[in-house]
Structure formats: structure tokens, C-alpha cells
Structure 1
Amino acid sequence: MSSGSFYKNLIDETLICGRCGNCRSDCPVYQEIGWESAAPRAKISMARELFARQGDAKISAEYAKRITQCTMCGACTRACAARIDLQSLWKDLRTKLVTAGKAPEAYNAMIGNLKTRKNISNFANTTRLDWAEDLDELPDYLDQEQGAEIVYFVGCVSSFFPRAAQVPVAMVQLLEKAEVSFTTLGPEEWCCGFPMLAAGHGDEIAEFARHNVEKVRSLGAKTLVTGCASCYHVWSHVYPEILGESLGFRLVHATEMLSELINEGKLVPNELNKTVTYHDPCDLGRNSGVIHAPRAIINSIPGVKFIEMATYGEESTCCGGGGNLQGADQGLAESIAQKRIKEAAATRASIVVSACQQCEQMLEKAARTEKLPLQVMDVSELLLMAIDG
């Protein structure tokens, strides 16, 4: 549920919608498909017809497809004149899909991995630190060091997908240069649970929340830093609600931590003569309000020319990688990403940076597909590049 939400339940919320259409023009899925049935207001109208008027009627295959054709980017929630928390509504609709046995097979496979391996990949959770093999030297303190001041929550994408592994590698090098005391949860890090929420299995996230929070508390850390935008959103918005209490330690996104270290003089970037643009991850910018920190990092690098895209901040266009859309309609997800990368190319920047590993993978693939001379990287990678000269 979004912060400050007045959400009650699926049926009551569908009755509030006045079909004004404010949500339609901001929806990246509608912009690609173009059919009214793909617009948020149409999905709500159909939900009202099925569940408020007819009870739990059968969900057609076409409507099931429309429900999953959503990145859960939050643009519709931001645009809603009636202040409906549409992200919560989409989660409830996906729960209906699960109950009706209409969830995509890719969702079922992913949930199976989460239940058995505690991560979204096909790899055993004991391999969560394999990305660290790309470091010049593997520090012993990375694996659950007691008494470390900071716990770095790496996330599933960075832990198990080769391209994204360069993000934690960069983060470790930056934290070492800043001489801060940190560790990770190693193989005891479980998925944050966001994929469960997006797949309609929100009731099963509690086990993951309790495990992760208890592991951080057991190490005595004062701060948790997450490199993934969705992990940050879940830790900050979902976990406290599930636990019914505060986390008991400070929570920051990696960009906030790095910005602080620059301000404290612990990280000093050298000149880097590059033109850079920035893509706001939906779960970090629009849905969590972390907009200034990544820009502060970019602007702290001497020589960098920073140019905003046509849409940015809370109005930033989605990359297509959220909401488990790839598992439901990969072609649609890639089309949305291609539109966003063209927006980046219009700035004439040579580097596109973001602060979400999923966004970076989507944009990098889109740049290759569109044959655009754009380098895609994480903010941490850009900062390390500047510091190392």
C-alpha cells in the first residue's frame, strides 16, 4: 500500500472511480497498446462489473492478460483525481488472478523459486555472494560481519544476473574508499518480496520481511542501505506496515548514502568530461520520493554536463521493467523501454545513468535494439568511474 493511502478494499475503490481518464494519458501500457481496455479506468470498470455487481465472477483470459499488462509504475495513482491508490488495487486484482488460477505461468515459476530458494533466480541462495568474485580481493567482512555499522542489501537482480553484478562491485569499492564499516547478509539475504506483491501473493511476504529485518537487527547495524529501488520501496513502505513497528535502524538508498559521503568529503570525484542524463526508477522517484540524491551525485562530478529528459522526477516515464511485466508480456515491456531510451537519446547524452538494476538492464537492451550510441550504467558506476579517473 502506498504511503498516505486511504485504500479500503477492491470493491469499494472500484465504485469511487469516476472514469475521468486522467490516468489514461500517463499510463505507459495504454500509450503502447492504444486500446481502451488497456487503460487503468477500463480495468477498474471491468473489476467493478465482475466483483462488485456479480460477485467473484469468472475472469476471462483477455481480462486476465490486461490485469498483468501493467508495470505498477504508479503514474496512474499520481494522476488520479479521486486519489485512489491504484497500485494497491492492481495488487488486489492480481490476487484475484491467483485465486482463479489465471496467473501467468512465469509468475508461478517465480513464486516457486521464491518459496524454495528465497530469490527470483534458478540459483541456490548460498551463491548470493558470487558477484563479489569480480572484486580484486574478496573481503571476509562481506559475509555477515557482527558489529558493522552498515548492512548493504544487495538485492536479487544484482546478486544473480551478471550485468547487474557490476553495481554491488562498484558499491563495495566506493564504501571501501570512504572507509566505512559495512557488511552484507550474504546467503542469509532473502528477496525483499516485491515480486510476490506484484504477482498477487502479498500475504506471503511477511515471512521474508521478518527474516530480513531480524537478520539486520542481529548484526547490530545502525543503517541499512539498499541498491535496488524496489527493495528500498518495500523496506520503507511495506515492512513497517507488516511488522507493525519501526525497523529499529536507519534505512537509506545507495544514492542517499553516496551523496552523504560526497558531502562529508569521504568520496571526492575527479573531472569527467561526459554528457549525462538520468532515468528515475519509478519505485525510487515517484513512489518513494528519492529524486534529489542521484542528481546531487551527478552534479558533484566536475566536468559532467547533466541534461534532464523530457519527463523526469515524479513525472518520469517508466522503463517497462516493473510489475513483473516481462513475465506476462515481454514484448510490451521492451516496447516501453525502447520509447524511454529514445527519450534519453534526444538529450544527446553519451551516458544514461539510473539507480535501479532492473531499469538499467531494460534500457541497456533497448539501446542495443535501437542501435543507439548510449552507455547505460548505475549512478554508483558513474561515481566510481569519476573517482578512479
Structure 2
Amino acid sequence: MTPNPTIFIPLLVISLSIFAWGCWRRLSLVTVGTGEERFDNPGRRAGEMLRYAFGQKRVVARPFGVNHAVIFWSFLVLLIANGEFVLHGVFPAVALEKLSAGIYHPLALLLDVVSLLALVAVCVAAVRRVASPPYPEARTVEAFAILGLIAILMLASFGINGSRIAGGELAGARSWLPVSGLVASWITASSAPLYYLASWWVHAIALLLFMAYLPNSKHLHILTAIPNCFFRRLEQPNTQPREEFAPGNEFGAARVDRLSWKDLLDSLSCTECGRCQNVCPAAITGKPLNPRGVIHDIKVNLLENGPLLKKGENPSRPLIGEGEGSCTEETLWSCTTCGACMEACPVFIEHVSKIVQMRRNLVEAEARFPEELLNLFENMEGRSNPWGIAPTERTKWSSTLEVKPFEAGKTEYLFYVGCAGSFDSRNKHVTVALAQLLNRAGISWGILGKDEKCCGDSVRRLGNEFVFDRMARENVALFRERGVTKVITQCPHCFSTLKNDYRQFGLELEVIHHSELLRDLVRDGRLAPDTSAAAFGATVFHDSCYLGRHNDVYDAPREVIRASTGTAPAEMERSRDNAFCCGAGGGRMWMEEHAGTRINLARVEEALQQNPDTICVSCPYCMTMIEDGLKDVKAENVRVRDLAEVLAEAVLREKSA
């Protein structure tokens, strides 16, 4: 029972030609992007690709991920069967059963069982799409068509093997083909040849259609997701690319070719699983931003404009604008840069950097940004702090303390107080508490006083790279002049910027967040908290996005709270790498929310589900947003405390006893 190669071969050639042309037509568009180094450390990259692409580590970590992993792994295993099928169609003498029984029988069992698992997983995926899709738009004809083709391939393979068994072939392998053997019991010997030919051609047509359709559909990600994992950032995606401010340079990304080739590969690798939008605080609270939609619009823009750009012509659709294939300004300004989308993405798409690059174009080239940011930008340029307060006011928090200036060679740590710690009336209390703890522990520390400048985090994430570049250069020069090598911060935004962004300017600092330092001081016995009288009641901890997801600091704050209160803090439903943003990151601290529900209210309501007396934080922005949220929901009986305040009360309590 062998099909006629003279019919199959031309169909195969047509399918492969369409497949090759589709791959070239789309993948070649990536070359219109700007250059970016992603070829370093090939050994490590290969290992990461094996772990995340082939091992599906991020996929199985989320709900329903195992089902997708079963389909993926089945696809890989069944490449053997489909490869043999194609070769057999061209060269009928090629057949797996010609292998020795010791190899063929276990292989036949594997392929039969894996085909059944794939069929079940596809059916489960189809039912899910109907009954409980990951997002409403997931119910598409294309999605069901692909699932249907995979199901047809599995059923046809059972029909092929079952009819062969029923016709007297594969007799020795029947016990190794449990599913196909069951199908064989439904087929008579006389009808076996007809069933075989029908199953074979159904399988052939489904396979050839799948091959031709794959590169021309959203399922191109089957091919691009694996290299996308190879080219992922090896470090946390917590910085933004620098800009060069030479004459004639363009600022930001107003056209798709201003994004990097990796950004464009990202757009072709999106699986449209919806995980990013399901964790995005802006999307959840009704803002225009949908991370999946941003990547989709970039892909649509690339498919339309890429061929024009390759020919040196102008694009026909703007990257920033209205309609499919363009990102609206409201979408771009809704992002808090919390990184939840990137943490959830199974193929390491970097959403935030694309949004920031488009913000840069709006700010630097078009001068189009929310009105409330005008004062912020002016204050940052004029007085290097968001409020425009005179630099001489930076040390007012220390009026009751003896604080020394940082001296190179004499002082070990620079305490980089930050703008909130220096000027915000509530966060000054955190600064004082931390200073008292440093003194109690005998740490050698000093401050820059009125010479301290803002780190520039907010202006960079808001797209004002020109101002950030100037601020960063000034700070780098100041730190080098003063001989600063070790820095303590209480603000995760300062922490992340000094530690990560300033490396782009050639400055390598040992930066430690106060949660890590305080934990170490408690562990070493240099700070001895008294937990005999818990002063804060039931506590719940809120993870800062820039401390947690952006820098992987999760345990230190919890250890400090436990040491201070004698009890581990309660955890919110969304915590650690799945924590929900307070709404202040990405410069949103300085902007109003006009659409949907306020992000800080959503977080406060989640915290109140734990019935806390105290909500502990480790970030000045989080402190402000959560306190404001508690006022709005009339829960002012719940206190918000930075972990430095909690530890200070436990360590210094004896003074007031």
C-alpha cells in the first residue's frame, strides 16, 4: 500500500516553495531594524534557549502552560514521524519499520502515545478557546484552523497505522501501537487499502497545508520563538538603550525601522498567548495600553512598511498614531514600566524598551507629552528634582542628626538619599530612620548634601533621554571626583538607575538597597531588633517593581520585616515576580490617571484582603501611592511603613522604654 510519488512530489515542491518564500518574505524584514549586539556569550545563550524554548520553563510556570508544553514537545517528537512520512512519499522504500525491532518498536510506541497526547492537548486547547479564552480576542478562525489541522494530522496518522495493521502489515509491532491497534480493530482487512489511501492523503494534504500556511500566519512564532529565546537579554531588561545626540540624528522611534532588529524579531515571535495583558496593571485597570496589542501593532506596521523600507521608500503607516499597526499616544503614556509583561512573556519579548523609544520620539522630536510633565521636565533641568525645590533644602531632613559629608578615603558608603528622601515630607521620616540605623550599626557613611542630584530615572522612562543623558553625565563626573565606589539607596528607582543605567556611562558602582544592607546588619548582629512588643500588628508586604522584578530583590525586605516583628509578613495574592504595580513607575508618579480604575486603588484593595494593620513597603513611590489609596478607600486606620521604619522601632525601642 504505497501512494503515487508522481502526485505527491509536485504538491510537496509547491508547499515547500510557499513555505520558503513566506519565511524569507517575513524574516528578511527584520533587517530593516537598527543594529544591536545579541551574539555575545553563545554558550550561555544556547543553554538559555534549551531551558526556556525547548524546556518551556516559563510556559509551564503559568496556568494552562502544561497543555501548551505537551503540544510543543509532541511537535518536536513527531518531527520524526512527519519527516519519515515526507521521505516515504518521495521514496516509497524509506520506512521506519525497516529499522531493527529493538529500535523501531519503542519508537513506534513513543510516536503512537505522543500522537494521542497531542490530540488530547489540542482538544483541550480548543475547548478552552471556546469556554474560557485567555482573552476575548483569542477566539479566531486562524487559531481554530491550526488546532484543527494538528488534530487532523494526529487522526490521520492513527488511520494510516491502523489500516496497515488491519491489512496484515506491522504485525510484529501491533502490541507497540496501542492507539493504532485500537483503530485497526474497527477496520476490516478488505477495506484496509481504501482506509490507508484515504488516511495517507488526508495526512499529506493537512501537512502540506500546515507547511504552506505556517510562515504566513501568526504561527510563524513556531519558527521564531526559539531563536528569540537565544537572542534574549542575558541580564534583566532593566535599562534602556542610549541615544547619540549628534547633529542630524533622529530621536526615538517614529518609524518601525528605528527599532532594533531584535525588537522586530520580537514582533514576529509573539505567540499572542495574552499573558502580558493579563498581568499588565494598565490593561487590568482599563487603560488604553495592551502589551500584546503594542507588539501586534509593531508587527502589522512592519509587514506593511518593511517591504517599502527595504526598497528605500518612505513608510505608508506611522508607528505612532491611530488605527491597527500604529500605537496611540494614550497607549504609550499608560505604561508604568513595571516589567510584569516581560516577566510573564514565555519568549522574552521586551515590551518596555519599545514603548520608551516611542515616548522619546514624542518628547524629544515632537514635544508632545502630557501637560503635567512640563513642570517636571523644567524642574529636573533647572534644579535637578521633581518639585523644583532649591538644592540647599536637600539636607533639612538631617536637622536633628549629626550627618557628615562624604569624604573619599575616609567614608566607606555614600548614602544617596534621593529626591523623595530629601524633599517629600513623609519620606523624610524613612531617611531619618535609616540614618539612625546606620549610626547604630557603626557604618561609615556620608552624604553629598546640596551637591546631590537626581538620578534621572523618571525622565529616562518618560522618554526625555536628552535631559537624562546630561544628568547622568553630571552624576558620573561628580561620583568620580568624590571617589564614590559604594552607595546605599532607599529608593529602588535610584538603586536600579545607579546600578544598571549608569554602567552605560562607564561607571561601575557597588550599589546596595537599604533592604539588603539592613538584612545583612541584622544577620551579622550589628543591629539587634527587639520583637517582644509587636508595634505594627498584622503586616503585609508590597513588592516594589524596580526592586523585585527589575533587580531580583525579594527576600531581603521580608527578612527585615520578620526580624523586626518576629513574624513573616502576609503575602498578597500577587507577590514577588507576579506582584502588582503601585502605579507610580515609568514617570506615572507625576501624571494623573484619567481612564479606568486607579492602579493604586486596585493594589490597596488587594492588600486589604489580608486585613493588615500595617502595609510595609520598600520604595518612596509605593509609600505615596499606597497611602493615597488608603485615604481614597477610607482605610486610614491601616498604616504604611517603610521597612527601615519598622526595623528602627524594633532596634531603637529601648530608647523610649
TM-score, shorter chain, exceeding 0.5: yes
Aligned equivalent of 2:649: 385
Aligned to 1:348: 611
Structure ranking higher in helix proportion: 2
Q: Which residue is 1:263 aligned to?
A: 523
Q: CA deviation at 1:58?
A: 7.5
> Retained in 2: the 8 A contact 1:326–1:333?
no
Summarize the Cα distance change of 1:217–1:58 in structure 2 as closer, same or farther, 3 Å threshold: closer
Deviations 1:164-183, CA, capped at 9 Å, x for gaps? 11111111111111111101
| 2:252 pairs with 1:8 | no
Is the alpha carbon distance of 1:384 and 1:123 closer, same or farther for their aligned partners in structure 2, counting shifts above 3 Å? same
Distance 1:308 1:129 in 2: 36
Shift of 1:329: 3.2
Q: Which runs of 5+ in 1 are unaligned?
A: none
| Preserved contact between residue 154 and residue 227 of structure 1 (Cα < 8 Å) | yes
SS in 2 for 1:224: strand
Give the length in aligned residue pairs.
380
Given the alignment of the two structures, is residue 46 of structure 1 paired with residue 297 of structure 2, yes or no?
Answer: yes
Q: Which moved more, 1:87-96 or 1:52-61?
A: 52-61
Q: What SS does structure 1 have at the residue aligned with 2:378? A: helix
Q: Deviations over 1:16-75 (max 9, x none)?
A: 4343322110011111117xx531111233344557723672844891111101111000
Counterpart CA distance in 2 for 1:250 and 1:301 is 26
User: What amino acid sits opposite 1:129 in the alignment?
Assistant: T
Distance in 1, matches of 2:362 and 2:507, equals: 32
Contact 1:19 1:41 in 2 (8 A): yes
Q: Does the alignment pair 1:193 with 2:456?
A: yes
Give the counterpart of 2:473 among 201, 210, 225: 210
| Alpha-carbon contact 2:403-2:447 (below 8 Å) kept | no
- Contact 1:320/1:333 (<8 A) preserved: no
Q: Which amino acid aligns with 1:290?
A: V
Alignment of 1:248-259 (within 5 A): 249-259=509-519
Hey, what's the Cα distance between the residues in 1 that align with 2:596 and 2:426?
19
Residue 296 (structure 1) aligned with residue 559 (structure 2): yes
- Measured against aligned partners, the alpha-carbon deviations of 1:296-345 in whole angstroms (never above 9, x if no partner) come to 11111254452111111111111111112244433559721111112111
Identify the match of residue 122 of structure 1 among 366, 384, 388: 388
Deviation at 1:223, TM superposition (A): 1.8
What corresponds to 2:572 in structure 1? 309
**Matched residues in 1 for 2:596 and 2:442: separation?**
40
**Post-superposition shift, 1:208?**
2.3
Query: Structure 2 matches for 1:357-372, cutoff 5 A?
Result: 357-372=620-635
The counterpart of 2:278, out of the listed 11, 17, 25, is 25
Partners of 1:59 and 1:100 within 8 A in 2:
no
Q: SS state of the match for residue 501, structure 2?
A: helix
- Is 1:318 the equivalent of 2:581? yes
Deviations 1:319-372 (A, max 9, x none): 111112244433559721111112111112211111100001100111111112
2:366 corresponds, among 97, 100, 114, to 100
1:379, distance to aligned residue in structure 2 (A): 0.6
1:286 and 1:4 mapped to 2: Cα distance?
A: 8
Q: Does 1:113 align with 2:379?
A: yes
Change (3 A) 1:33 1:69: same
**TM-score normalized with structure 2 length:** 0.54
Distance 1:355 1:32 in 2: 23
Q: Name the structure 2 match of 1:169.
A: 432
| Residues 199 and 277 of structure 1: CA distance in aligned 2, closer, same or farther (over 3 Å) | same
Tell me how far 1:246 sits from its aligned partner. Answer: 5.0
Contact residue 356 and residue 463 of structure 2 kept, 8 A = yes
Work out whether residues 373 and 590 of structure 2, in 8 Å CA contact, stay in contact via their aligned partners in 1. yes
Distance in 2 (CA, whole Å) between partners of 1:206 and 1:93 is 17
Report which stretch shifted further, 11-20 or 169-178. Answer: 11-20
Distance in 1 (CA, whole Å) between partners of 2:591 and 2:328 is: 13
Amino acid in the other structure paired with 1:292: D
In structure 1, the partner of 2:352 is: 87
Backbone CA RMSD of aligned residues: 2.5
Unaligned runs of 5+ residues in structure 2 are 1-232, 242-258, 306-314
Q: Is the 8 A contact 1:158 1:165 kept in 2?
A: yes
Query: Alpha-carbon deviation of 1:217?
Result: 3.6
Deviation track 1:73-132 (CA, whole Å, cap 9, x = no partner) reads: 000011123311212112112112222332112223212211111121121223211222
Inter-partner Cα distance in structure 2 for 1:118 and 1:374:
34
**Structure 1: distance between partners of 2:370 and 2:289:** 17
102-111 or 345-354, which deviates more:
102-111
Greater Cα offset, 4-13 or 296-305: 4-13
Q: 1:181 to 1:4 in 2, by over 3 A?
A: closer
2:63 counterpart of 1:63: no
Q: Amino acid of the residue matched to residue 8 of structure 1?
A: S
State the shift of 1:218 in Å: 3.4
Larger radius of gyration: 2
Contact between 2:285 and 2:596, CA under 8 Å: does it hold in 1? no
- One-letter identity of the residue aligned with 1:44: I
Residue 197 of structure 1, CA deviation = 1.4
Shift of 1:388: 2.1
Tell me whether 1:144 sits opposite 2:399 in the alignment: no
Aligned-partner SS, 1:73: coil
| Partner-residue secondary structure (3-state), 1:152 | strand
AA matched with 2:397: W
Looking at structure 1, the residues matched to 423 and 565 of structure 2 have their Cα atoms a distance apart, in angstroms, of: 33
Of 368-377 and 41-50, more deviation after overlay is shown by 41-50
Secondary structure of the residue that 1:210 maps to in structure 2? helix
Deviates more, 1:106-115 or 1:85-94: 106-115
SS in 1 for 2:581: coil
| Aligned equivalent of 1:234 | 497
Give aligned-pair identity as a percent.
28
Amino acid at match of 2:343: R
AA in 1 matched with 2:520: E
Is the CA contact 1:276–1:352 (under 8 Å) kept in the aligned structure 2? yes
Q: Find 2:398's aligned residue among 97, 116, 132.
A: 132
